[in-house]
Amino acid sequence: GQNIDQPTEMTATEGAIVQINCTYQTSGFNGLFWYQQHAGEAPTFLSYNVLDGLEEKGRFSSFLSRSKGYSDLLLKELQMKDSASYLCAVMDSNYQLIWGAGTKLIIKP
Amino acid sequence: NAGVTQTPKFRILKIGQSMTLQCTQDMNHNYMYWYRQDPGMGLKLIYYSVGAGITDKGEVPNGYNVSRSTTEDFPLRLELAAPSQTSVYFCASSYGTSGNEQFFGPGTRLTVL
């Protein structure tokens, strides 16, 4: 079967750095996506990795290791508005997204 | 550009009733998707379309139907609503597949009682 695992919840302090892990087992791999979802809202795209290594986008960066089957989303200089759920999704061999349940990130002042 | 729009935002149905969830995108995307999101679970793909006139089943299609008569519109039909269909429904669209982000509508929160 196909499986995406993420921690259910994480807590971090404003101004700090947090790393959210996503491990996956899927039938095929055509890229990994990270989305942000604020409570009651739609998911919005954060990052995409298809090759091993780091993709950086401002305060957000994402690392992929295909051989070990995981990705880490790194958020720096945390702000209160970063309180949200972070969804990991892998595109499988049928080019369909398989989604993790999401990690709820709580930012404390 | 409005992006992806969905109506209604909220709906309560009685068991056995039917309804259509509307989805429209103005980005000229070929690919459109319907997902449901249940608490504590990942998004599940219900149906998708790769272009006007073409639709295909996703992971959880039972109890739903779709049509794609135009590039812009992708309505989702619920026949004989059941409590198990209580969920938040998201429509999304993308230009392509690999490497292309999906743009999501605001969602429809459906309760079946």
Q: C-alpha angle with apex B95: B41 to A61, nearest 5 degrees? A: 60
Distance from CA of A73 to the nearest CA of B (A): 17
Bridge-based pairing state of the strands B10-13 and B108-112: parallel
pLDDT of residue A1: 75
> Mean pLDDT in chain A?
96
pLDDT of residue B52: 96
Q: Which residues from chain A sit within 8 angstroms of residue B40, using beta carbons?
A: 8, 101
- Give per-residue pLDDT as tens, A35-64: 999 999 999 999 999 999 999 999 999 999
Residue B76 · residue B20 · CB < 8 Å: yes
Q: Which residues from chain A sit within 8 angstroms of residue B88, using beta carbons?
A: none
Distance from CA of B23 to the nearest CA of A (A): 14
Residue A97 to residue B43, Cβ atoms within 8 A: yes
Collect the ranges in chain B with pLDDT lower than 70: none
